[in-house]
Amino acid sequence: MLFLGIESSCDETGVALVQTQAAGAPRLLAQALFSQIDMHQAYGGVVPELASRDHIKRVIPLTREVLKSACIDLNQVDVVAYTRGPGLSGALLVGAGVACALGAALRKPVLGVHHLEGHLLSPFLSEDPPEFPFVALLVSGGHTQLMRVEAVGAYEILGETVDDAAGEAFDKSAKLMGLGYPGGPALSKCAQGGNPLAFKLPRPLLHSGNFDFSFAGLKTSVLTQAQKLGADLHNPDFNHKADLAASTQAAIVEVLLKKSMAALKTTGLRRLVVAGGVGANLALRTQLNQACAKAGVRVHYPELHLCTDNGAMIAMAAAMRVQSGQQQPRFNYGFDVKPRWPLSHIDVLSV
């Protein structure tokens, strides 16, 4: 079966084609992605109305590009999948509306996909796909979660953020340092020239005895340090900004690392999957690789270009849900979106 996936939850428009196979994970045939970073940089963050309008402009040309690249006619598509939530409501409505319109015009079924499940299953698109069961560290935007994954749709939340997520800590700290948007990659780049031990920053909930996360206190500490440094933070004669960036990154990575390793030890599982935008952070990957190698644990990531929001993960999640019998596409073309949709409620709202 051929699955056309459309992602439009925030500031990237993604379209992709995935094909199921008789054996093994579905394979990616083609994908196209347009990022709105340049448009939102002037505002220091995503402007929802602008994001929605840009999705409208991009989604059809990207769909044509993907079909042409895969040498597939639109009528050959078997299922049209789209991101149903969570995300920005206006942006989600663009993808859902286009997907359901295409389905109705082609008389093909449609399927709404949970954005976080797309990230969670994206490592199955890599050259080294994981096997079930595994512990998953999902670090995407406003979400940081550890979960036990037994199979498609069988997710047990072990812990999650109680306030700011890791991605928000990166972005907000970067803004406090004047590093611009998108904050996470900018902070990581700045951190390369800094000393991670220069500032003593907190590691919230590191010794809590559970798998929950909290990064709001870290952000407050970064603000306090930035205010103490004042103009010196931006003085090129000093390395304060790089040192603060490196110290911030070190604090976030240490919490993610130690909580993940503790979850592996508690569950007894020998496989870790890391997915979501923060999963592209090279410091996190390096330290996880070292810790997992020492513990005899396999660790899997999506390819770097698949860590960001993309249509491939949406098409893949749809294909894997259908293949596993968890969900069937529908011929009902009325649609809604779920801007707030906990992954733990995925089966409640997957009709």
Q: pLDDT of the chain along its 351 residues, tens only?
A: 999 999 999 999 999 999 998 877 899 999 999 999 999 988 888 999 999 999 999 999 999 999 999 999 999 999 999 999 999 999 999 999 999 999 999 999 999 999 999 999 999 999 889 999 999 999 988 899 999 999 999 999 999 999 999 999 999 999 999 998 889 999 999 999 999 999 999 999 999 999 999 999 999 999 999 999 999 999 988 999 999 999 999 999 999 999 999 999 999 999 999 999 999 999 999 999 999 999 999 999 999 999 999 999 999 999 999 999 999 999 999 999 999 999 888 875 554
- Give me the pLDDT at residue 350, please: 52
Six-digit token string for 267: 């569950």
Q: Are 9 and 86 spatial neighbours (Cβ–Cβ below 8 Å)?
A: yes
- Looking at residue 145, the DSSP 8-state letter turns out to be E
C-alpha to C-alpha distance for 132 and 320, rounded to whole angstroms: 13
Q: Is residue 207 located within the same domain as residue 317? A: no
pLDDT at 351: 44
Residue 350 inside a domain? The answer is no
Residue 127 within a domain: no
Nearest to 277 by CA among 178, 104, 143: 143
Domain harbouring 159, CATH code: 3.30.420.40
143 exposure class (CB count in 10 Å sphere: 0-12, 13-18, 19+): buried
In a domain, 320, yes or no: yes
Its domain, for residue 183, covers 132-301
Q: What local confidence, expressed as pLDDT, does residue 266 receive?
A: 98
Say if residue 264 is in the same domain as residue 311.
Answer: no
Strand ranges for 178-239 from DSSP E: none
> Does 126 reside within a domain?
no
Same domain? 293 vs 311: no
Pairing label, strands 2-7, 27-35: unpaired
Structure tokens at 264: 């592996």
| Residue 90 covered by a domain | yes
* pLDDT value of position 42: 86
Specify whether 29 is located in the same domain as 79. yes
Total domains present in the chain? 2
* Predicted pLDDT of residue 344: 84
Which pLDDT score, from 0 to 100, does residue 21 have?
85
Residues 39 and 117 in one domain: yes
311 and 292: one domain?
no
